Amino acid sequence: MNPIAGFGLLLRMALRSLWSHKVKSLIVGSLMAFGTTLVVTGTALLDSIQSAMSRSIIHSLAGHLQVYSSEAEDELSIYGGGMMSGNEVGQIPNFSKVKSVIAAVPNVKAVVPMGIQLANMSRGSDLDRAFSQLREAHRRGDATVAPRLVPRIKRLLSLLESELINREAVSSPEVKKTVTAQLVDVRRVMNAAFWTEYDTDPLTALDFLDTRIAPLGGEGRLMYLRYVGTDLDSFSSNFDRFQLVEGEMVPKGARGLLINQRFAESRLKLTAARLLDDLEEGRQQGVPISGTPNLESKARRLATLAGSITILLEPKDAKTIEAQLAALITPLGPATDAGKTQRFEDLKTGTQFTVKRKTSPDLEAYDANLDRLLTAFLTMDDTTLQWRAQFFYEVLGKKIDLYPFETGDVVTIRAFTKRGYIKAVNVKVWGKFVFKGLERSELSGAANLLDLMTFRDLYGQMTEAQREELSQIQAEAGAQDVARENAEDLFFGGDEETETSETETTGFSEFAGVNLKRQRRATVDERRFQQDELEGGMAINAAILLEDDSMLAETQAAVQKAVDAAGLKLRVIDHERASGLIGQLAMLIRGILYVAIFIIFAVALVIINNSMVMATLERVREIGTLRAIGAQKRFVMAMFMLETLTLGLVTGGIGAALGAGIITIINRVGIPATNDIMVFAFSGPRLRPDFTADHIFVAVGIIMVVTLLATYYPARIATRIQPIEAMRGAD
Amino acid sequence: MSVIVDLRDVAKEFPLGKTTVHALRGVSLSIQKGEFVAIAGPSGSGKTTMLNQIGCVDVPTRGEVFIDGQSTSALSERALTRLRLRKLGFIFQSFNLVGVLDVAQNVELPLLLQGNLTRKERDMRVAEMIEKVDLTPQSTQRPNELSGGQRQRVAIARALVTRPSIVMADEPTANLDTDTGNRILEVMRTLNKKEGTTFIFSTHDHRVMEHARRLVTLVDGLIATDAPHGSEAIA
């Protein structure tokens, strides 16, 4: 048979046959077109998400590849596996060795050391802060500070007093004795006589405050802090999503903390301000409070937070604010139901509204009226939100600290070291940063940045200097009077053994108390370190950034080979794996898509198969005739195959074009990211997917394979039809 | 004259439920090149079965079939198919045209299957053949636009376009009215005379038998009579 002429004949027969069975062709064709559309849109969308997510992951924290100890018990998870830093991922004892081996591998641009840990952080209680300001002022000889601070201290103490009175009432006799003694101390300070004494002998008074009153002030605000200890210099120059938005970069060789702005906004910021931000954001986007359950519940919560603001106000500011609020919001008639419900009028908008409180304010209380007005102020609806949000930031916000600490402050970070005891380090907050495009993502926003030296301290690692100091101290121990500064360093510094035993004997609360004292004095390790000191020490893992990311798999293999050859016990994983569950999200969605595609094509396969079997049975005589007049079996096979292949190619082409069209439209419009995970997955606020020729080829390829599979069986049946069938039966 | 078809003690049995149908019970028959043979007999006498053996679309249970001196029993399915393509032409009772192809394409089909002619040669051969069966005006029509007689003429053209040695026709007029049937047989007879093609056709219609030059009658799977027939016999 002449191949070209034969093919022409087959094609003609295929097309004619398809045309003569229009309905069947249409049904099967639509199914195939739909399947192809789905494959093109689905895979293009997923590839776009995956590459966007890769960008998020690679350029914010993970780098292209990650290395960590091959002796690790758990898998490395950059974005955290759970809340606690319990992951046992081993460590890299000497980073510089690892760096020199890996940096020599072609295509490696940079190797950045890292260590991820979850710690808690406190900035001491409000009393602590007031006392330290007092001490600081005294040291400077500044007499203007005390008169301003004393009313505030008294106010804080009045709160503490009522708390102690309550505690006294419920305590067992032994504890009661202690509490009563504490009350005596507190009342002593609240008395004007104490402050007269302070004026004459400030140091004794300050000691009393530090030792007797400050421990009663509690922990202050405690919060969790997730940080990546790293070579900040190398990090900021290699991760191009990193952008400093406030303060300054930690100078080279200095210790310090950089706070992620997202973390600051969503975790650190005063709750009332955060809720107000959400309401205001809704307003700006045209989402009203009323009728939006999420915002309604936030508005209700906001209305209960007056107390959290009054406590932060300086007394004189409190009076000013009270007066300002009184001019804007006025009560209508007396409070009802024992002060729990009251009508107010918003004088700016003329809106009348009802304010509900859980408890009636104690009229004798220091801030009763301010608290009442502030509660009314924070009871907002869609009409009053705008000016109140403005007032909040322009007037109120200027008088209170919206964040527990600001850039330039020193914070205490406390973490569980590898040995299980708690280690605390004071560190300066140099600035705030964002990961560009991921500003709104909580996932990447959860990570703050810390210098690697401090990280090692918190991890329970001694520096060379600390080690030297320790051996020196050991040599001198007992023989010499240890200086106060040294003792404290010895006590809280690097020596693991000492600390372990101290923890065992002193217990947590005492430890915390001493720690707070240390914090008050804000002793920051200001020693500069050298680059080789930074690189010569340990790290938990290291990020590898590549020149050409299309060579990722090859480079991964090359790096693994290089570290193996160097005898370094390291595991090299790609960014997707390193990012844990999040990185595998795309894989998960892909899995679901593939299952959906598989089902659709399985259905298509069955339908095509079925209709082809029917067609075969309908055409028994025609096929018998062809065989009788000399057509070989393969001709019959080819005839059937070509028929569905043609259908597949045409409808698959239509489907692919449709899919490409859909992706093009989506690309123009963009898919908005509506939640945090989506922002991360889209690597920004909107996903603009793209397709490549590969998506089309893959889709059409799949449809071809499905078609051939579906047709093979009916075609085989057709080839078994004997030429004698042509002779049978008249009709 | 050479023997083109030679049946030697050909028997064919079909299982039918638990019994066996003896369609042919040992038939021997020689047909010369250029003969115009009718195989007659009542229904179930084995006419079609015998044609199927000659046409190599069926394999005998016993005996041997020689086509142009070649035994078919040793041939593979592929080889048999090739043999049919090169040496045999088929005309079916219900025409069996390919519905999706037009007249010319149906006629061209066996040539394409043979694949040894150029397009030009094929076109010429097809046009010539269509001309011979008087269907030139209909050459671009589809089978379903044609009458029964026209369709059978297409089938004849298709059977003869490859210039086969033997043309088999199984009750070629059974689905046609008498006039049309006669005309079809005249076409076949003319081609037989002009081209020297051997025609073997089965029929149970006496008027059709009139056209035959040799009449073989079958009864119960055995040859009852085999004699020259019609004008040639008389002459």
Band of pLDDT at residue A258, cut at 50, 70 and 90: very high
- Compute the distance between CA of residue A609 and CA of residue A346 in angstroms, rounded to an integer: 74
pLDDT of A84 strictly over 50: no
What pLDDT, on the 0 to 100 scale, is given for residue B142? 92
pLDDT of A546 strictly over 50: yes
- Compute the distance between CA of residue A522 and CA of residue A537 in angstroms, rounded to an integer: 26
Band of pLDDT at residue A515, cut at 50, 70 and 90: very low
CATH among 3.40.50.300, 3.40.50.2300, 3.40.50.150, 3.40.47.10 for B3-96+163-234 = 3.40.50.300
Contact partners, residue B36, CB within 8 Å, separation at least 6:
B188, B189, B192, B198, B199, B211, B212, B213, B214
CB B113 to CB A6 under 8 A?
yes
Closest-CA residue of B relative to A631 is B113
CB B175 to CB A2 under 8 A?
no
What pLDDT, on the 0 to 100 scale, is given for residue A243? 92
What pLDDT, on the 0 to 100 scale, is given for residue A169? 81
Gyration radius of chain A over CA positions = 36
pLDDT digits (tens, 9 = 90+) for A370-383: 878 888 899 998 88
B72 touches chain A (CB under 8 A): no
What ranges in A683-725 are assigned the alpha helix state H?
693-719
| Widest pairwise Cα distance in chain B | 55
pLDDT of A40 strictly over 80: yes
A730 touches chain B (CB under 8 A): yes
SS3 A240: coil
- Compute the distance between CA of residue A624 and CA of residue B58 in angstroms, rounded to an integer: 12
Closest-CA residue of B relative to A724 is B57
CB A106 within 8 A of CB A144: no
CB A48 within 8 A of CB A72: no
What DSSP line would sit under B77-121, residue for residue?
A: HHHHHHHHHHHEEEE-TT----TTS-HHHHHHHHHHHH--S-HHH
What pLDDT, on the 0 to 100 scale, is given for residue A500? 35
What pLDDT, on the 0 to 100 scale, is given for residue B110? 93
What pLDDT, on the 0 to 100 scale, is given for residue B166? 93
What does the domain layout of chain B look like in residue ranges? 3-96+163-234
CB B72 within 8 A of CB B65: yes
pLDDT digits (tens, 9 = 90+) for A411-425: 888 887 766 677 888
Task: Kindly report the pTM of this predicted structure.
Answer: 0.64
What pLDDT, on the 0 to 100 scale, is given for residue A363? 53
Please state whether beta strands A108-122 and A410-416 pair in parallel, antiparallel, or not at all (unpaired).
antiparallel
CB B170 to CB A1 under 8 A?
no
- Nearest-neighbour CA in chain B from A18: distance (Å): 10
In chain A, which residues have their Cβ closer than 8 Å to the Cβ of B113? 1, 6, 629-631, 635
What pLDDT, on the 0 to 100 scale, is given for residue B215? 93
Per-residue pLDDT of chain B (235 residues; tens, 9 = 90+): 689 999 999 999 988 888 998 999 999 999 999 999 999 988 888 898 999 999 999 989 999 999 998 999 889 999 999 999 999 999 988 889 988 889 999 999 999 888 888 889 999 999 999 988 889 999 999 999 999 889 988 998 999 899 898 999 988 888 888 888 888 888 888 889 988 899 999 988 887 888 889 999 999 999 999 988 765 544 3
- Compute the distance between CA of residue A326 and CA of residue A371 in angstroms, rounded to an integer: 12
Q: How far is CA A6 from CA A86, A132, A638, B116, B122, in A?
A: 71, 97, 10, 11, 13
pLDDT digits (tens, 9 = 90+) for A260-295: 998 888 888 888 899 999 899 888 888 888 888 888
Structural element, H or E, at residue A29? helix A22-57
B152 touches chain A (CB under 8 A): no
In chain A, which residues have their Cβ closer than 8 Å to the Cβ of B57? 627-628, 722-724, 726-727
B149 touches chain A (CB under 8 A): no
Work out the average pLDDT over A691-697. 89
Work out the average pLDDT over A674-682. 79
- Compute the distance between CA of residue A677 and CA of residue A109 in angstroms, rounded to an integer: 29
Amino acid at A262: R
* Mean pLDDT rounded to a whole number for chain A: 81
CB A214 within 8 A of CB A520: yes
Q: What is the Cα A352 distance to its own chain's centre?
A: 41
pLDDT digits (tens, 9 = 90+) for A572-618: 998 888 877 776 777 788 888 889 888 888 888 898 888 888 888 88
| Least confident among A49-58, A323-332, A569-578, B16-25 | A49-58
What pLDDT, on the 0 to 100 scale, is given for residue B25? 92
A724 touches chain B (CB under 8 A): yes
What pLDDT, on the 0 to 100 scale, is given for residue A400? 85
What ranges in A393-451 are assigned the alpha helix state H?
397-399, 442-445
User: What's A341's DSSP letter?
Assistant: E
What pLDDT, on the 0 to 100 scale, is given for residue A85? 45
CB B57 to CB A631 under 8 A?
no
pLDDT of A470 strictly over 80: no
What pLDDT, on the 0 to 100 scale, is given for residue A627? 92
B50 touches chain A (CB under 8 A): no
Please state whether beta strands A222-230 and A447-451 pair in parallel, antiparallel, or not at all (unpaired).
parallel
- Nearest-neighbour CA in chain A from B58: distance (Å): 7
What pLDDT, on the 0 to 100 scale, is given for residue A640? 87
Closest-CA residue of B relative to A727 is B92
pLDDT of A83 strictly over 70: no
Band of pLDDT at residue A314, cut at 50, 70 and 90: confident
Percent of chain A exceeding pLDDT 90 equals: 18
Q: How far is CA A477 from CA A470, A473, B33, in A?
A: 10, 6, 128
Amino acid at A511: F
Prediction ipTM score = 0.92
